[in-house]
Amino acid sequence: MKIKILIPVYNDWQSLFKLIDEIDKLQINEEFQISILIVNDASNHDRATEKKQFKNIQSIKILNMIKNQGHGRCIATGLKYLFEKDDFEYVIPMDGDGEDRPEEIIKFLSEVKNLNNKPIVGERVKRSEDLKFKICYALHKVFTLVFTGQLIKFGNFTCLPKSVVEKMIIEKATWNSFSGSLKKIERKLVSIPSVRGKRYFGPSKMSFYNLIKHSLSIISVFRKTFLMRSALFIILYILLIKSNASVITAIPIICLLVAVYLISNLSLRENLDEFKNSLKQIKNIDIIQ
């Protein structure tokens, strides 16, 4: 069974090749053939030129993009490339910094043998960030659930059969939010527990700003539900506070209206034409194994 591991990277080559080393050490059943596709998001730091042969990885290919387009769009481009240009049964998108733990690939593969073409997601049961970030992440999940009806406890670290990849590359939301798009097209997801690992090198790139953008991008996929629930909330809230209206009591409404504005802007990122032409943004392809 051909398994493709899809990894976006921007400058973090040291972590990436540490991850590949760890994947190569995994005791993977011989019935699985592991290959790696790296999408280089127009890095401005060159990778090491040292040659290394990996024993248990069938092939390693790098798509070098013309311009920087962001983590999520690199994954979307990689999915499109694999579906149109390569042969596989399953794709495992994952971060290249160690935060998606390579040993959990074994969990995905053990589930693949028991499931019939169902997508599997790594559901976060433990995170490695500080308390402030964990609280913000919990609020993001609650806000998303309340205003969209969707409880999304997974990120990019998933295992997707080819049939699901086919759906994702024709869904415009994939160009904006991977997890939101997957939840939109597949209601029944099989989950496995996933512990967020620590970066191999350097600080985490998931800043507070990136968390907010990530959260609002997911919500933008379900913007119709969000707008209806927001309108209902505002009406009920005004009725509740009408006798005590003030600048302070108006803060929740102002915050929600700001969120509506930001989500409406983020929804414009769902550009199907750009997604369809994403392979034209590949400058060249390096085959390193």
**What pLDDT, on the 0 to 100 scale, is given for residue 215?**
86
- 39-53, 89-103, 162-176: range with lowest mean pLDDT: 39-53
Q: Is the pLDDT of residue 207 over 70?
A: no
Per-residue pLDDT tens over the stretch 55-66:
889 999 999 999
Residue among 79, 15, 78, 5 nearest 41 (CA): 78
Q: How far is CA 87 from the centre of its chain?
A: 22
Between strands 59-65 and 282-287, the pairing is antiparallel
pLDDT band, residue 3 (cuts 50/70/90):
very high
Domain-by-domain residue ranges, the chain? 2-134+150-203+271-287
Q: Is the pLDDT of residue 23 over 90?
A: yes
The vertex-11 CA angle with 205 and 221, nearest 5°, equals 50
**What pLDDT, on the 0 to 100 scale, is given for residue 90?**
97
Q: What would you report as the CA-atom Rg of the chain, rounded to the nearest whole angstrom?
A: 20
pLDDT band, residue 126 (cuts 50/70/90):
low
- 55-64, 89-98, 212-221: range with lowest mean pLDDT: 212-221
pLDDT band, residue 92 (cuts 50/70/90):
very high
Neighbouring CB atoms inside 10 A of 95's CB total 25
Q: Is the pLDDT of residue 206 over 70?
A: no
User: Can you list the alpha helix ranges (DSSP code H) found in the chain?
Assistant: 13-25, 71-85, 105-112, 131-148, 162-168, 178-185, 208-221, 223-241, 251-267, 272-276
pLDDT band, residue 137 (cuts 50/70/90):
confident
DSSP-assigned states of every residue in 223-248: HHHHHHHHHHHHHHHHHHHGGG--TT
User: In CATH, what is the architecture of 2-134+150-203+271-287?
Assistant: Alpha-Beta Complex (3.90)
Task: Tell me the C-alpha distance between 177 and 99, whole Å.
Answer: 19
pLDDT band, residue 125 (cuts 50/70/90):
confident
**What pLDDT, on the 0 to 100 scale, is given for residue 128?**
58
List 61's β-bridge partners, or say none. Answer: 37, 287
Q: Is the pLDDT of residue 205 over 80?
A: no
Q: What is the DSSP letter of 33?
A: E
Q: What average pLDDT score do residues 73-86 get? A: 96
Q: What average pLDDT score do residues 20-42 get? A: 93
**What pLDDT, on the 0 to 100 scale, is given for residue 129?**
62
**What pLDDT, on the 0 to 100 scale, is given for residue 36?**
96
Q: What average pLDDT score do residues 224-252 get? A: 89
Q: Which amino acid is at 131?
A: L
